[in-house]
Amino acid sequence: MLEGRNLKIKRGGSIILDVPSLSVQSGEILSLIGPNGAGKTTLLQALACLIKPSQGELFFKEKIVSSNHVLFQYRRKLTMVFQEPLLFDTTVFENVSSGLKIRGLKRTEIEKRVDENLERFGIPHLVHRSARKISGGEAQRVALARAFAPQPELLFLDEPLASLDPPTRESLIEDLERVLRQTGTTTIFATHDRMEALRLSDRIAVMNRGRILQIGPPPEVMNQPLDEFVASFVGVDTILTGRVSKKDKGSFLASVMGHEVEAVGEVELGETVVFCIRPENVTLSPPFPKRATSARNVFTGKIKKVIPMGLFYKVQLDCGFPLVAYVTSHALEDLELKEGKEIFASFKATSIHMVRKKLSG
């Protein structure tokens, strides 16, 4: 549906966006994730033709978006929601109808669509209120209703939930998810929250420094990050570098800071590899366990820090190399985990995602 080729944007002599190719299928929800300044907003605005790329082409339904006329036609097919609601200084009704008025729709049609979209986002009671006198969460709902009202073929969302408090965000993301599934609108969604991305998207693109480092379905990006940056951004807390010391059929041993770690995969002897271990795959057990475990990577570690993360705890360990595990509050009590305590940590060889240094450059 939408395809960018060789998009480059230069500012002040340096390249702030460099995307050789990106395509979005009809009905797809693509998330752009990455830290602040990764180029997510720039890419969104370039794809929405709000800023002009220094180089490259954009195709919408196989047609190049170039001349002013085509560009204008293209913009009528899309809408965008920013991080700030950017509502107009008038009533909620006038705000939601603005995109429809711009398109010159009839009054009856406008009223119908406004009602429908206020209903969708649970705010019909705000219709006659001033947009300057509603809460931040309500304002963002109005902004979303305004964006959906013209029934866009393409929807661009630039961190629309980022400045909301967690409960408001949670209820809004539920509604947004429902409306997106109902309407099947092709959406490109920039966020720095990987959980939002995981929840909403069909594909995730991880960005840094104006480039897309990896793009794929959420499980693939989460579990098989292509490099250390992607790994750390998608929530892999433990990233270890090791050298292959012993090789077997399908599995191998690598030396990580003097400790032998077993992993699976085809490697060369002496090769440097990077191990990505997700914290939810690390199991903690009391020292001197008698019970058997299928995990072959068992290490003694000292607890350095226990960090509450809401429903679970993040435990930072020193096993001779740093290791991070997630535990439930129940397990925390059960194992009497506290700083300074010694504990056994284990993870399965198959739960390690390996990045071959040679390949990732």
Footprint on this chain of other proteins (rule: CB under 8 A): 45, 48, 50, 72, 75-76, 78-80, 82, 84, 86, 88-90, 98-99, 102-103, 130-133, 146-147, 150, 156
User: Shortest gap between Cβ of 81 and other proteins (angstroms)?
Assistant: 8
CB of 191 closer than 8 Å to CB of 161: yes
Residue 112 carries which side chain, given as an amino acid letter? K
Q: How many CA atoms lie within 13 A of 309 on its CB side?
A: 15
User: Shortest gap between Cβ of 184 and other proteins (angstroms)?
Assistant: 20
Residue closer to other proteins (CB basis): 68 or 294: 68
User: Shortest gap between Cβ of 99 and other proteins (angstroms)?
Assistant: 4
Residue closer to other proteins (CB basis): 82 or 275: 82
User: Shortest gap between Cβ of 222 and other proteins (angstroms)?
Assistant: 31
**In this structure, what is the dihedral angle of CA atoms 31, 35, 38, 39, given to the nearest 10 degrees?**
50
User: Shortest gap between Cβ of 23 and other proteins (angstroms)?
Assistant: 21
DSSP 3-state of 165: coil
Q: Which contacts qualify for 249-257: CB closer than 8 Å, 24 or more apart? A: 251/349, 256/321, 257/320, 257/321
Instruction: Give the containing element (helix H, strand E) for 256.
Output: strand 251-256
Residue closer to other proteins (CB basis): 103 or 112: 103
Residue closer to other proteins (CB basis): 191 or 316: 191
User: Shortest gap between Cβ of 116 and other proteins (angstroms)?
Assistant: 17
Residue closer to other proteins (CB basis): 160 or 242: 160
User: Shortest gap between Cβ of 42 and other proteins (angstroms)?
Assistant: 12
State how far Cα 288 lies from the chain centre: 40
> Residues 204-216, buried b or exposed e (16+ Cβ, 10 A)?
bbbbbbbbbbbbe
Residue closer to other proteins (CB basis): 96 or 215: 96
Residue closer to other proteins (CB basis): 141 or 146: 146
Q: How many CA atoms lie within 13 A of 54 on its CB side?
A: 13
**DSSP labels, 60-124:** ETTEE--SHHHHHHHHTTEEEE-SS----SSBHHHHHHHHHHHTT--HHHHHHHHHHHHHHTT-G
